[in-house]
A and B are shown apart, each in its own frame.
Chain A
Amino acid sequence: MGALSLSQVTKAFGKTEVIKGVDLTVNDGEFCVFVGPSGCGKSTLLRMIAGLEDVSGGDVMLDGVRINDLAPAKRELAMVFQTYALYPHLTVRENMGLALKQAGEPKAKIDASIARAAGMLALDPYLDRRPAELSGGQRQRVAIGRAIVRTPKLFLFDEPLSNLDAALRVATRIEIARLHRELGATMIYVTHDQVEAMTLADKIVVLRAGRVEQVGAPMELYNNPANTFVAGFIGSPQMNFLKSAAVGQQGETTGIRPEHLTIARDAGQIAGQVSHVEKLGGETLVYVRAEPHGLLTVRLFGEHDFAVDEAVWLTPDATRAFHFDANGARLR
């Protein structure tokens, strides 16, 4: 069990309101990702769910029980931090067992839980080491193991991969996805990286400045963004925004993803000049300066040769275009 619901949750530090009324439900067993730019309040919202920050207004409910005033340790949740936050004076085994020991569980049960978690994360060889003797990736696995040992109702992750290098980040991401399948537990995961959000989430919550912009499955957000903010945030490289008037489309702004623009040397709808080319092997990104729109990105499959300053023509796939009004809201 682990169904979370927030209703009209707010948080103010002194006079500055940081979370401005969030409504949200996370179903049992769901992988929910909070995504948004730095400083939008993701960590604050997560810490409120954990009980590490007081809730200024609204209700936080776990399995139908209001937990606003419950101490963090009583909420049956576990948290994994960006900086790992392992106890430096304890061994890996003691780090993982501390919460159960505090809860007064019998030693046999603690040992069994540690063995199970260590098995899932291949941590057996390190159980008697101290955190200082582990690499960054190992430390983060221990932190994840510490969370698993408690068999919590709810897992909370606050940017757990940000301090790892790129290769380790992908490996740990896959590991977290596997753990979610194996444990079937409810997980809430905070990140500013939309790739992590897209690849892990059942449900993405896009936050901006303390408000929820849109909630949905990754492909729902990709195919059906509610406004220019979500459209620009989800998908990589970023969506292109064209001036509708200049391309004969409705609304103020027309959004078109880089993969839905075609490029040609002889003819097309938008004239432009190549300003930069990035060849990634499997795909080629061509950056084209086209007035009055600005810099547009075209994503091509395979290898392509374009010279910088070459004149080219772009054509958007009108069936895949999104239309937004002057306030950025989607026109349907």
Chain B
Amino acid sequence: MSQSRSHTGRTIAAHAVLLTYTLIALFPVFVIVINSFKSRKAIFADPLALPMPENFDAVGYTTVLQQGHVVQYFANSLIVTVASLFFVLLFGAMAAFALSEYRFKGNMLMGLYLALGIMIPIRLGTVAILQMMVAAGLVNTRTALILVYTAQGLPLAVFILSEFMKTISDDLKNAGRIDGLSEYRIFFTLVLPLIRPAMATVAVFTMIPIWNDLWFPLILAPSEATKTITLGSQVFIGQFVTNWNAVLAALSLAIIPVLALYLIFSRQLISGITAGAVK
């Protein structure tokens, strides 16, 4: 009995910690969203007040949406994020499969080399990357961003996915080989569905930094046609005057697509875990 009580106690403590953390993490987002619906005066008078009929003002949203290019910025962000994610997951999973499935000379070294990027920030190479993009004529294209983000996401993807690949039963792959499936079919139809939860985890970890990045869009693709939403929101932040309504509205809107992607991946995560592999 005492054991069950201490168990309840521990559960409560754990939930208290988690709830506190959730509140702290969500607080800035909450403040941004509520203030985006308030008039400029109300934002500064009482930043924590909820939007009420007397202080309600959607001027931020109308400014942002009238600013013509916003839809384009959103599209750019989505295209870059989704395309980078696709390549990171595809190439990451393929490399992980090769590393864990085939015995070849330098297998271990290759794995280490591919994982090295986790510890070396890609921004250290910004100058070289910019020179390369200029030479390749890719400046001010979304392709430039997609290439850089794919390179940035691959090390962690290869590292996490190759750990998961090792847990997949050899018997299943061997059964496929005996039944005459090609290595590609084995990879795409037998292995990939079984590592879906891991892929979803990698997708979430990869997606957020890409969506939020300001650095590479500013350096590689600052043109009006290729701006991402994070960069696009900066037009409202001036050196002398900042249109806070518009900044807050733009940031609030920027949360929506990434939230949608996250929900899709987390569903994958859960369904992957509950479906389970057949032993």
Contact = CB atoms under 8 A, between A and B. Distances in A.
Interface of A: 47, 50-52, 71-73, 77-79, 81-89, 98-99, 102-103, 130-132, 139, 146, 163
> Which of B172, B174, B276 counts the most chain A CB atoms within 10 A?
B174
Interface stretch (B69-77, B80-88, B177-185): B177-185
B177 A84 contact: no
Interface string B172-203: 10111111110000000110011000000000
A86 B171 CA distance: 9
A331 to B, nearest CB: 43
B174 A83 contact: no
A81 B174 contact: yes
Contacts of B172: 83, 85, 87
B45 interface: no
B178 A72 contact: yes
B278 interface: yes
Nearest to B179: A99
Contact of B175 (A51, A85, A102): A85
Contacts, number: 67
A73 B178 contact: yes
Interface of B: 169, 171-172, 174-181, 189-190, 193-194, 275-279
A79 B170 CA distance: 13
A70 to B, nearest CB: 12
A79 B174 contact: yes
B180 A73 contact: yes
Nearest to B173: A85
A181 to B, nearest CB: 24
Nearest to A78: B178
A47 B279 contact: no
A163 B169 CA distance: 15
Given A52-B178, A102-B181, A132-B278, 20 more contacts: A50-B174, A52-B177, A73-B180, A79-B178, A81-B171, A81-B174, A84-B171, A85-B172, A86-B278, A87-B175, A87-B176, A88-B193, A99-B178, A99-B180, A102-B179, A102-B180, A103-B180, A130-B278, A131-B278, A139-B278
B181 A85 contact: no
Contacts of B276: 132
Contacts of A85: 169, 171-172, 174-175
B279 A52 contact: no
Contacts of B194: 88
Nearest to B177: A72
Given A86-B278, A132-B278, A139-B278, A73 B179 contact: yes
Contacts of B169: 83, 85
Contacts of A84: 171, 278-279
Contacts of A51: 177
Contacts of A50: 174, 178
Nearest to A104: B180
Contacts of B179: 73, 98-99, 102, 146
Contacts of B278: 84, 86, 88, 130-132, 139
A73 to B, nearest CB: 3
A81 B194 CA distance: 19
Contacts of A73: 177-181
> Which of B169, B179, B275 counts the most chain A CB atoms within 10 A?
B179
A89 B180 contact: no
28 contacts: A51-B177, A52-B178, A71-B177, A72-B174, A72-B177, A73-B178, A73-B180, A77-B178, A79-B174, A81-B174, A83-B171, A83-B279, A84-B171, A84-B279, A85-B171, A86-B278, A87-B175, A88-B193, A88-B277, A89-B189, A89-B193, A99-B179, A102-B179, A103-B180, A132-B275, A132-B276, A146-B179, A163-B279
A160 to B, nearest CB: 11
Contacts of A87: 172, 175-176, 189-190
B194 to A, nearest CB: 7
